[in-house]
Structure 1
Amino acid sequence: MLNQHLVWRRALLIFLIVMGALFLLRLHRADGVEQPSESIAAGHRLAEAWCMECHVIGAMPTGAKKVAPDFVAVANRPSTTKLWLKVFLKTSHPTMPNIIVGPSEADDLANYIMSLKRD
């Protein structure tokens, strides 16, 4: 009987440690700290590969013909949020090519575009 109680106590202790670690990991991700530079760099690479044909990736050069909004303008719209960008990237639009964007790619692109926001 003593061994069975010891096994249950150890199992409970391990469970509590794992749950605590997961809780701390979740807090770390939700604390609002700036996005990692790797994600922003990955988003920039994706924007160059997928978006540059129609969008200006950085600021709009003087005298450039504006076909689609440049990413700096998109980032600085009052309504632009990371969530809005992720939803937009996963929604089909008649004026855009139908690119299938995965969840991590949407995060990277949204992080890159939001990094262009001026304070």
Structure 2
Amino acid sequence: MKRICGLQSAVAVALLLMVNGESAAADRLRGRAIAQRWCSECHVVAPGQVRGSDTVPTFAQIGESERFDERSLSTFLATPHHSRMPNLSLTRTEIADLVAYMKSKEP
């Protein structure tokens, strides 16, 4: 009986590690959905978007910028006191997904 309980515990831990490992990877498709929902009011976030402010960079410009690597983008998005951006209160996972989308070469 103890052996079965130990095996069940080991399997449960392994499954949790697998699930956490999968969710830790940034998902650019989720990032695109976040961008379209929260960022497209001001930024052009995707090819073909016709609305956006001309006073802020497009996501393509941000993604291609040498100034903004993944780390600096993540830090910027996690800082709630931007001068012109609203505080979106994004989670670390949402930030990672959004950065993955911005840095991807695919729409």
Q: Would you call these one fold, judging by a TM-score over 0.5?
A: yes
Runs of at least 5 residues in structure 2 that lack an aligned partner in the other structure: 1-9
What's the TM-score once normalised by structure 2's chain length? Answer: 0.66
Matches of 2:48 and 2:41, distance apart in 1: 14
Change (3 A) 1:76 1:102: same
Percent identity between matched residues is 30
Indicate conservation of the 8 Å contact 1:42/1:109, yes or no: yes
Letter of the aligned partner of 1:116 in structure 2?
K
Change (3 A) 1:84 1:75: same
Q: CA RMSD in A?
A: 3.3
What's the TM-score once normalised by structure 1's chain length? Answer: 0.60
Runs of at least 5 residues in structure 1 that lack an aligned partner in the other structure: 1-13, 27-34
User: Which portions of structure 1, spanning 4 or more consecutive aligned residues, are displaced by more than 3 angstroms?
Assistant: 59-62
- Larger deviation: 106-115 or 90-99? 90-99
Change (3 A) 1:82 1:50: same
What corresponds to 1:68 in structure 2?
56
Q: Deviation per CA, 1:2-54, whole angstroms, max 9, x where unpaired?
A: xxxxxxxxxxxx9xxx9xxx8xxx9xxxxxxxx76xx0100000000100000
Query: How many residues end up aligned between the 2 structures?
Result: 89
